[in-house]
Amino acid sequence: KSHIWLRKMRYVENFPGPPLKNRLIGHLKEAMVSPADLPTESYRHYKEYGGIYRFWLLGYAIIFIGEGKYAEIFFTSKTTEIKPDPYRLLHVWLGLGLLTSRGQLWQKRRKLLTPAFHFSNLTKFCDVFVKNTRTMVQQLHQTPDGSLVDVTTLMKLVALDNICETAMGIEINALKNPNHNYIRAVEDCTHMTMERFTKPWRWNDFQFFIMPYGRKYWKDLHTIFELTDKAINNRKIGRAERIQNSSQHLDEAEEPKKMAFLDLLLASCEDSSVTLSDEDLRDEVNTFMFEGHDTTAASMGFTLFLLGVHPEIQEKCYQELREIFQDSDRSPTMEDLQKMKYLEQVIKESMRMFPSVPILGREATDDVKLGDHMIPKKSVIVLNVYNLHRDPKVFPDPEKFNPDRFSPEESLGRHPFAYVPFAAGPRNCIGQKFAMLEEKVVLSYILRDFLLESEHGMDELQLSFAMVIRSQKNLNVRFTRRKKFHGFES
């Protein structure tokens, strides 16, 4: 064992990074950073040591990368496919769903799930986004003109309504009933999972689950599982009845108009040799619930905040929407959403500055070469997406919010791995088109009706990194009506 330790040490000894004073403990002190200090601390290290540096922790190397050429290897090398140990903390909730599984199991599932995100299905999901966003806008019109709205919370509620309905076919009405048992349980479990990630002394399952917070987590998980299981049961029964009344196999016309992701999954299973148990189905639905609401909510919240700080950019978005809709209050079609080019640039630039998933981790299953550096087997490689997106060689003046960076001309020739809010390579985000459509629907509805003004400036933002980026302060935005609300035209 000691020679393995020495070999690893030799590999990383001369790496850029903080001086190695104690070879046994290594950089324990530097590594114990709270989520609130992580953005500034990691940015400080990045500026000091550059696009690749290391920590040494109890015999393991932790390699931090923040440059496109290293990100490319991170995402594409066979030796960096495995997610590191802390992802294990998600198993109790998400089982071996798409996010947490690996190897052949993951490959089979990815193949099975990909059709659920094809254009025709996204069109159906879009109807759900429109319906829930209208409810949200109607609610906003009922608040006094010029009210300050905490957009993080508002976006979370609309994103939850969208994901519950698209994933399970259940209308939970989080916007109208934010204290719903299930909503509260999802919120609390997400929060506790993030807390656990950043507190290694809570990683041991036994120690975690005997504590009061662990017991509460367990109870919340049961609330979540109860609803997911009920949804699975109902969709299965409905499907079996439809199959019985038809000719063994449902054709397109016999499928329900509003297909949920769960229905698509059941249909895919019928068309392939893969069978999923109820537990497998539950894992996948819970994975989509988990991955598919906090991420989009964070991105939409930061985008509204940024637009509230940059009135001239907001005006450009508004003019684009005026050109598409004129004075009409009609719902957007898929064609309209594709025309929202400038809004798309705004969303992309917002995700550059505030990537919803700011840090990604992988484990090296073998020695791996990163540029001129050799990384020993078993090292944890951390891609800091937040820093990567602030590389001044790729994004000059990186703290400036400038959506023109994503115009077709400006994007030309950029390193393909320099901008990766949805990750890249085979384990990229399966929901990225879904997310972009959802964001366009929600943001365009708000921008068509309201003028936004943020309460705080950019320099007052205090970020924190857990699994999803957060602002420690509420992102309060003033909503002033652009016009009187007469209801919606269909």
Q: Is 387 in the site for ligand HEM (CB under 6 A)?
A: no
Instruction: Sort strands 60-65 and 380-384 into parallel, antiparallel or unpaired.
Output: parallel
Give the residue ranges of the annotated binding site.
Answer: 429
Cα separation, 64 vs 17, whole angstroms: 9
H helix and E strand count, the chain: 20, 11
* Spatial CA neighbour of 297 closest among 100, 117, 132, 115: 132
Q: Which of 62, 73, 94, 99 binds ligand HEM (CB under 6 A)?
A: 99
Instruction: Using CA atoms of 414, 420, 421, 425 in order, give the dihedral in degrees to the nearest 10.
Output: 140
Q: Which of 435, 441, 447, 469 binds ligand HEM (CB under 6 A)?
A: 435
**Shortest distance, position 362 Cβ to ligand HEM, whole Å:** 8
Q: Is 430 in the site for ligand HEM (CB under 6 A)?
A: yes
**Shortest distance, position 293 Cβ to ligand HEM, whole Å:** 7
Instruction: Sort strands 450-454 and 463-465 into parallel, antiparallel or unpaired.
Output: unpaired
What mask, x for binding ligand HEM by CB under 6 A, covers residues 249 to 278? Answer: ------------------------------
Q: Is 110 in the site for ligand HEM (CB under 6 A)?
A: yes
Cα separation, 359 vs 387, whole angstroms: 9
Size of the site for ligand HEM (CB under 6 A): 23
Which region among 2-10, 240-248, 284-292, 328-336 touches ligand HEM (by CB under 6 A)? 284-292
Nearest residue by C-beta to ligand HEM? 431
159: β partners: none
Nearer of residues 216 and 433 to ligand HEM, judged by Cβ = 433
Instruction: Using CA atoms of 355, 344, 150, 159 in order, give the dihedral in degrees to the nearest 10.
Output: -80
Q: Which of 165, 263, 291, 320 binds ligand HEM (CB under 6 A)?
A: 291
Instruction: Sort strands 60-65 and 52-57 into parallel, antiparallel or unpaired.
Output: antiparallel
Nearer of residues 52 and 297 to ligand HEM, judged by Cβ = 297
62: β partners: 55, 380
Cα separation, 138 vs 143, whole angstroms: 9
Tokens of residue 55, six digits: 């920590």
Cα separation, 97 vs 112, whole angstroms: 12
What mask, x for binding ligand HEM by CB under 6 A, covers residues 359 to 378? Answer: -x------------------
Q: Which of residues 409-428 bind ligand HEM (CB under 6 A)?
A: 421-423, 427
Q: Is 292 in the site for ligand HEM (CB under 6 A)?
A: yes
Residues at the contact surface with ligand HEM, assessed by CB under 6 A: 83, 98-99, 110, 287-288, 291-292, 295-296, 299, 356-357, 360, 421-423, 427, 429-431, 434-435
